[in-house]
Structure 1
Amino acid sequence: MPAVPTVDSPDELAGLLENTGYLADTGVATAAFLALRMGRPLFCEGEPGTGKTSLAVSLAGALGLPLIRLQCHEGIDAGQALYEWDFPRQLLHLRALEAVEGGRLDVDTAEQSLYTERFLLARPLLRALTTAPCVLLVDEIDRADDEFEAFLLQLLDENAVTIPEYGEVRAAAPPLVVLTSNRVREVHDALKRRCLYHWLEHPGLEREIAILRGRVPGLGERLARQVAEAVGRLRTRELLKPPGVAEALDWARALATLGRDTLDAESAAATLGTVLKYSEDLDRVRADLDTLLT
């Protein structure tokens, strides 16, 4: 069983995260450090593109742990998140038993042979319980419904689940759980109370410049600053989808790929589709490019 590296301070964890390309500010590093040391889930909320999912991915890389991701969506249920039985294989197994036994099956024995680990399809939550230790990312929990939230609450409380046909599965070492929310709806207080909470903001200008230069090889200081400043201005506008860090990185990569070393009106107009994702936003910004590049 792999051991979780010992981390003695938020600054040390920030350094480990930086080695993976994630520049954590003091608040993020402290929240993640406390979640790790206290064995509590970390609930990260914020606007899309503020680095919530990337934090979980980077924590796994920084700590040398497997990452298991559960992407939530409307209508997700326990079966999709926890486990399913492989019915086609179970049916083939029964037919094989019938062939071997000449059609004279002992019902109890046959049934017992169907519900074993061999036919159990582990979904993300069950894999997180059986992969110890690991980082479990429950992404966009706000998209799931109340019933699933209650089920998840019980699993986080006990770090175990009972499968009726199989028995109890309990984590040998509790996973480090990171839950993210874009605040599509309010998550219930009962779930939040069991977590440490952190609200993620978009990075400040200097930190975003550092992120761009760290993640885009060869990106110059001038272009990185121009992109970060322009993205910052876009976030203050009433857009359908303000850009996050991921879009800023895409914009910087696009400009670098085109061989640009400065952001001017021509290059901005040609590459806006990397940073804005709605035609209405594109039209609004193209009509006022001078203000964007001031």
Structure 2
Amino acid sequence: MSTTSAQPLPSSIDATLEMLASAGYVGDRALATVLFLSLKMGRPLFLEGEAGVGKTEIAKVLASALGRRLIRLQCYEGLDVSSAVYEWNYAAQMIEIRMEEASGEVRRDAMERNVFSEKYLIRRPVLDALSGEAGAAPVFLIDELDRTDEAFEAFLLEILSDFQVTVPELGTIRAKEPPLVVITTNRTREIHDALKRRCLYHWVDYPSAARELEIVANKVPQANERLSAEVVAFIQRLRQMDLFKVPGVAETIDWASALTELDKLALDPETISDTIGVILKYQDDIARIADGEGRRILSEVKAELAAAAE
């Protein structure tokens, strides 16, 4: 994201709600409260919830609304310091060494200072997040922390304690102002209490039908009102079923967009069968809906919406 002039932090919970809304995020007061406190107290925000409920989007919206850079550390199994914090540009260093040797004026101490300078330092997300200026610290998104191992989690705990990194060849690099940290996890494993204690915690749940309808109206404004209501009601019922992976908010938005592209004004059994792969990503789940469950749910949805309209 390109850096724009940084905006002041919201001064109240209501201002935080307005900030989220201005950036297109439909949030509730509980989220606005913990986000406001996180910004006010300078504490990392720990967001936990099922995949697809909008945890990552909160960090993106925060960066956009505040005019800050978004720095994202995408976690995965085997993530190490060189990928997360920094590494040296070895190819460029070797070229510099060869050039100095070719010049015939080689001083080992001077060469070492030269090749281990900022010029050859590759800043990965952690170190980059510590490089913000006072009043314009970036938003640092540590995404899906539960995918890493406990060793990296312990290292991250140290970073969040002091907001500094030691590069042996350069010394200690400290943040002029700590970044605004957002940590997400899909709860595939438990995160250690020591790290959680340094954060403010919020569970991001699936939205209610009313809020999800508002999200669809915000993200897919061209969608027909009746279609949006049926899509949301259908998704809400799918989430009550024992599926391998229930659809998240992202799938709701994708489905509403796809159906709008197909010029659909309402759901019907054939359309559901043709587009079910937009919202369900496992064959067993798809087969279950195709085997009659989809028709039953659609019938109930239409009856419910018709009764509500009377």
TM-score of the superposed pair, with normalisation by structure 2: 0.92
Once the 2 structures are TM-superposed, how far is the Cα of residue 12 of structure 1 from its aligned partner? 1.1
Q: SS of the counterpart of 2:244?
A: coil
Cα distance in structure 2, aligned partners of 1:271 and 1:80: 38
Cα distance in structure 2, aligned partners of 1:47 and 1:140: 11
- Where does residue 80 of structure 2 map in the other structure? 77
Cα distance in structure 1, aligned partners of 2:25 and 2:15: 13
Look up the equivalent residue of 1:117 and give its one-letter code: E
Cα distance in structure 2, aligned partners of 1:3 and 1:232: 38
Look up the equivalent residue of 2:117 and give its one-letter code: T
Note if contact 2:10-2:19 (Cα within 8 Å) is conserved in structure 1: no
Cα distance in structure 2, aligned partners of 1:286 and 1:25: 35
Q: SS of the counterpart of 1:149?
A: helix
Once the 2 structures are TM-superposed, how far is the Cα of residue 4 of structure 1 from its aligned partner? 4.5
Q: SS of the counterpart of 1:130?
A: coil
Look up the equivalent residue of 1:33 and give its one-letter code: F
Look up the equivalent residue of 1:169 and give its one-letter code: I
Look up the equivalent residue of 1:12 and give its one-letter code: A
Q: SS of the counterpart of 1:198?
A: strand
Look up the equivalent residue of 1:208 and give its one-letter code: E
Moved more, 176-185 or 128-137: 128-137
Deviation readout 1:118-143 (Å, 9 max, x if unpaired): 10000001110002311000000011
Matched, 1:12 2:15: yes
Once the 2 structures are TM-superposed, how far is the Cα of residue 22 of structure 1 from its aligned partner? 0.8
Cα distance in structure 1, aligned partners of 2:217 and 2:9: 29
Matched, 1:136 2:140: yes
Note if contact 2:12-2:36 (Cα within 8 Å) is conserved in structure 1: yes
Task: Give 1:205-216 correspondences, 5 Å limit.
Answer: 205-216=209-220
Q: SS of the counterpart of 2:8?
A: coil
Note if contact 1:213-1:220 (Cα within 8 Å) is conserved in structure 2: no
Once the 2 structures are TM-superposed, how far is the Cα of residue 78 of structure 1 from its aligned partner? 1.5
Once the 2 structures are TM-superposed, how far is the Cα of residue 217 of structure 1 from its aligned partner? 2.7
Note if contact 1:272-1:282 (Cα within 8 Å) is conserved in structure 2: yes
Note if contact 2:55-2:184 (Cα within 8 Å) is conserved in structure 1: yes
Cα distance in structure 1, aligned partners of 2:222 and 2:147: 38
- Where does residue 256 of structure 2 map in the other structure? 252
Look up the equivalent residue of 1:256 and give its one-letter code: T
Once the 2 structures are TM-superposed, how far is the Cα of residue 199 of structure 1 from its aligned partner? 0.5
- The 1:208/1:249 distance shift into structure 2, 3 A limit, reads same
Matched, 1:105 2:109: no
Cα distance in structure 1, aligned partners of 2:36 and 2:296: 41
Percent identity of equivalent pairs = 48
Note if contact 2:6-2:66 (Cα within 8 Å) is conserved in structure 1: no
Once the 2 structures are TM-superposed, how far is the Cα of residue 8 of structure 1 from its aligned partner? 1.3
Cα distance in structure 2, aligned partners of 1:40 and 1:81: 21
- Where does residue 178 of structure 1 map in the other structure? 182
Once the 2 structures are TM-superposed, how far is the Cα of residue 60 of structure 1 from its aligned partner? 0.6
Matched, 1:290 2:295: yes
Matched, 1:67 2:73: no
- Where does residue 124 of structure 1 map in the other structure? 125
- Where does residue 33 of structure 1 map in the other structure? 36
Q: Gaps (5+ residues) in structure 2?
A: 301-310
Task: Give 1:203-242 correspondences, 5 Å limit.
Answer: 203-242=207-246
Q: SS of the counterpart of 2:130?
A: helix
Once the 2 structures are TM-superposed, how far is the Cα of residue 289 of structure 1 from its aligned partner? 1.4
Once the 2 structures are TM-superposed, how far is the Cα of residue 3 of structure 1 from its aligned partner? 4.3
Over the aligned positions, Cα root-mean-square deviation in angstroms equals: 1.2
